[in-house]
Amino acid sequence: MTILHVGATVERPPGPKYVAALGFAELTFPSSWPRRSTLAKWRRGAGQLQCAVVAPRGVTYGSAGPLRWDEGLEERFAWYLDALDALDAHAVIPTGSDVTTSPRDRDRLASFLARIPQREGRHIVWAPKGLWSLDLALPFAEKMGVLCAFDPLEDETPTGPVAYARLEALGGRQRFSEGLLYDLLEALVEGGFEEAYVALESDRSFQEAVRLQQLAADT
C-alpha cells in the first residue's frame, strides 16, 4: 500500500490548524528570507509534520543567469541550506525554460544539485519545466540520485519507490474537483509507490488537500 503524504503549497510555515489536519507542507517563501532561528522555532512546534522547501528564484539565479554562481548566489544558496536544516525539510529545485537540455546546462544543473547534501530522510526533488519532457528528465534525475517532480493528471506515471507530485490549478484547471482528486489518487495508487508526496497549489489548496487525504483514508 502506498503511503501518501498530502499537503498544500504555502508561502509561509502553516499554523496549528494546518498541522493538526495534514502531515505534509510545501513551503515557497516567495518574498521573505526567514532566519534559521525563526524557522527552527516553528519546526519545534510543528510536531510530526513533514515539509519541503521550494528553492526561491534567487537561490538558483546568479547575476549572469540560471545556475551561474556568483557571490550573491552563494549567499542565497547558503540561506537555503540553512532553511533545509532548520526545518528538517526535503529540497525542491524548480528550473524554468531557460535551463535547457544542452550539455552545458546539464553540467550546471548536475553541479548545482550535487551541492545539496544528501542526508538520511531527505529527498532532493528537481521540478523541471520547458524543454525537459518527462522522458528526458527522469533518466537525468535518476543519474543524479534525485526525484523528478511530475503531475499525475498530465504526465505518465514514473517508476520507483518514492514519487513527488506537484499540481497547480491554472488554465483550464482552476481547482481540484472531487473527480480530479479521485483521478489523482487512482494514478498514485496504480503507480505502486512505497511513498508518494503530493503538493497541491490552488486558491483552496488546504481544503482540497484535506479532502484528498480523506479519500485516501477511505480507499
pLDDT tens for the chain, 219 residues long, are 789 999 999 999 999 999 999 999 999 999 889 999 999 999 999 999 999 999 999 999 999 999 999 999 999 999 999 999 999 999 999 999 999 999 999 999 999 999 999 999 999 999 999 889 999 999 999 999 999 999 999 988 888 999 999 999 887 788 899 999 999 999 998 899 999 999 999 999 999 999 999 999 987
For residue 74, what is the domain's CATH number?
3.20.20.410
User: Which amino acid, residue 58?
Assistant: G
pLDDT at 2: 87
pLDDT at 81: 98
pLDDT at 157: 85
- Do 123 and 147 touch, CB atoms closer than 8 A? yes
The whole domain housing 44 covers 3-218
17 φ, ψ (degrees, to nearest 5): -60, -45
Residues 155-174: b if buried by 16+ CB within 10 A, e if exposed: bebbeeeebbbbbebeeeee
Total domains in the chain come to: 1
- Do 157 and 191 touch, CB atoms closer than 8 A? yes
Note the pTM of the prediction, 2 decimals.
Answer: 0.96
Closest-CA residue to 183 (of 150, 215, 160, 148):
215
pLDDT at 31: 87
